[in-house]
Structure 1
Amino acid sequence: MAIGDSFEVTVGGVDGISYVDTGMYGTAEYGAVYVVEGEDPAIVDSGIGTNYGAILDGLAERGIAPEDLATIALTHVHLDHAGGAGYLAEACPNADVVVHERGARHLVDPSRLVAGTKQAVGDQWEFYADPKPIPEDRIREVTGGDTVDLGDRVLRIHHTPGHAPHQVVFEESDESVVFTADAAGIYVPELDSVRQTTPPPNFDLEQCLADLHTIRDCDPAVLCYAHFGPAATDDRLAEYADALTEWVGAVERKRDELGDDDAVIEYFGEHTSMVETWGERKGTAEERMNTRGVLTYLDSRTA
């Protein structure tokens, strides 16, 4: 697999769904945008904005012209999922941008989202493109229980706010697929395992565990991870529940031991195992960000 390449989802006999490796943060097998073919084609998420041309190329590979794209379905408005939406909406003039009602205002005016992202990702901001505002009349606000009609397919929306209050997952029941956003963690194909994603400021362990039950109730055969790629469901949801709980416990114990949050952040950044997979810069930055998210959660729990 290489950055910019497009691949069919073949797990579980899924038909008519593919994904593009967007090369997020200059890292292969980290960021995926899904193309859902059909009468009214859609994409799920939009990437970071920098390599949105690769998504247009992925559509072309599936015979979908920009003017034929009907929906840009955003799982949430964090910029690694929604940063390219304005660029793609501009290039695909007939596409509605679907987003949870709590995130819509950030697509119209992304300034606060940009500020928060810069604070969360630090010097990784250099990998981002400044998001383009989206006109209000191009945005369709949704919430849990709503559906997106794609003609011969339907995406059912489930609200999963543990990672962010504006996060949803999309269920395509005919193909037994759930597009998991960040609600089921990060799938690492090279390791065939799932890892935590717990960024500040909204990570909530109990709600994240409840969100896993929401996905489980859909009974999907295949999980399409935004980070990264499709995988058979098998025991992935239970694996992630254990991984999240163990991760939060590890950060809490290290805080008790060191008594200094900066030292805790540096400890986990220096001891992450993901350097070999994602490279030193991304692996270290990811672990530091996730540690900050857990520390923020622990503070909110005792407030």
Structure 2
Amino acid sequence: MAIGDYYPVDGCQDYYYLDTGMYDTERYGAVYIVDAERPAVIDTGIGTNYEFILSAMAEIGITPEELAVIAPTHIHLDHAGGAGYLAAECPNAEIHVHEIGAPHLVDPERLIAGTKAAVEDQWEYYAEPKPVPEERITELSGGDTIDLGDRTLEVYHAPGHAPHQVIYYDPDAAVVATGDAAGIWVPQLETVRQTSPPANFDLEACLDDGETIRALDSDTLLFGHFGPAEASDELLDTYKQVLSEWVGAVEEKRGELDDEAVIEYFVENTEMAEVWGERKARAEERLNTRGVLGYLDASAESDQ
């Protein structure tokens, strides 16, 4: 699979996934297109290469005017950065997003500042997000549904990765669009890795989100990073272990080194350079380590 390619999701009629080429890295950022009666796009990428989404829609047979729903799983710009671009091209699409995140798509100034602080020099890969018109936003909370005509997306709040994150469950297709709630699926290695970005990562809530996904008993998980994978208790157990051990490793190293040295330790010892390339792999470790350090600080403050 190359950047810009799209494929049907095996066993899930009318679902397709697209490699957006996020950070110029293959098989890192995925967008999902649902060819329903009311067509939908789940997640939108970082804004860069949003034309790939429109091209895939055209080949599937969905015109911009027919797109009914744009549904980021959360407002981190690697999932919602393309929402404004798609909204401008698809005039009839409603943008569905959790109520906490909705104001930041209307006025993305604080979102941009937070993203720049989080991703540092990776910002060069992003397109400046376009504001989404407020009247086109539908605010979501857990328990809501999104009507796609011949199918429905059930909305579940999944705040561990970010307080504005939701997951979408399609009971007819038995799929869950996980956003980042089940970690990063690495198809090259057929395993799952941690994602723990600043500033709102919460380990305990992430573990709860995994149990929310487990209870849905789906057949397929649609990872924002990257692609579909067979749902199983084993996979969810693996992520629970990976995430817990990751936080434990950072906490242990913090007992030996100052914070900047902790970050550099994990950056220098990344195991993902052969998969994502040296630059992206190192940036990923830096981001995730900083997120855990922030979580540890917040946990210590709450215990006082």
TM band (smaller chain)? over 0.9
Aligned-partner Cα distance in 1 for 2:299–2:225: 28
Query: 1:22-171 residue pairs with structure 2 within 5 A?
Result: 22-171=20-169
Q: What SS does the corresponding residue of 2:48 show, helix, strand or coil?
A: coil
Q: CA deviation at 1:156?
A: 0.2
Aligned-partner Cα distance in 1 for 2:145–2:288: 32
The Cα offsets for residues 98-132 of structure 1, whole Å up to 9 and x where unpaired, read as 00000000000000000000000010000000000
Letter in 2 for 1:104: A
Aligned-partner Cα distance in 2 for 1:174–1:216: 17
Q: What SS does the corresponding residue of 2:179 show, helix, strand or coil?
A: coil
Aligned-partner Cα distance in 2 for 1:301–1:137: 38
Match of 2:186? 188
Q: What SS does the corresponding residue of 1:297 show, helix, strand or coil?
A: helix
Q: What SS does the corresponding residue of 2:163 show, helix, strand or coil?
A: coil
Sequence identity, in percent?
64
Match of 2:7? 7
Equivalences, count: 300
Aligned-partner Cα distance in 1 for 2:102–2:12: 31
Match of 2:262? 264
Aligned-partner Cα distance in 2 for 1:64–1:233: 28
Letter in 2 for 1:254: K
- Structure 1's unaligned 5+ residue stretches are none
Match of 2:226? 228
Q: CA deviation at 1:94?
A: 0.2
Q: Does 1:252 align with 2:254?
A: no
Aligned-partner Cα distance in 2 for 1:202–1:179: 21
The Cα offsets for residues 153-212 of structure 1, whole Å up to 9 and x where unpaired, read as 100000000000000000001111000000000000000000000000000000000000
Q: CA deviation at 1:257?
A: 1.5
Match of 1:16? 14
Q: What SS does the corresponding residue of 2:3 show, helix, strand or coil?
A: coil
Aligned-partner Cα distance in 1 for 2:198–2:157: 19
Match of 2:236? 237
Q: CA deviation at 1:47?
A: 0.6
Letter in 2 for 1:249: G
Aligned-partner Cα distance in 2 for 1:168–1:103: 10
Q: CA deviation at 1:295?
A: 0.3
Letter in 1 for 2:8: E
The Cα offsets for residues 47-76 of structure 1, whole Å up to 9 and x where unpaired, read as 100000000011111100000000001100
Letter in 2 for 1:265: I
Q: CA deviation at 1:14?
A: 1.3
- Structure 2's unaligned 5+ residue stretches are none
Letter in 1 for 2:242: A
Q: Say which of 177, 191, 198 aligns to 2:175.
A: 177
Aligned-partner Cα distance in 1 for 2:237–2:166: 19
Letter in 2 for 1:65: T
Question: What's the RMSD between the two structures over aligned residues?
Answer: 0.5
Q: Does 1:206 align with 2:171?
A: no
TM-score (norm 2): 0.98
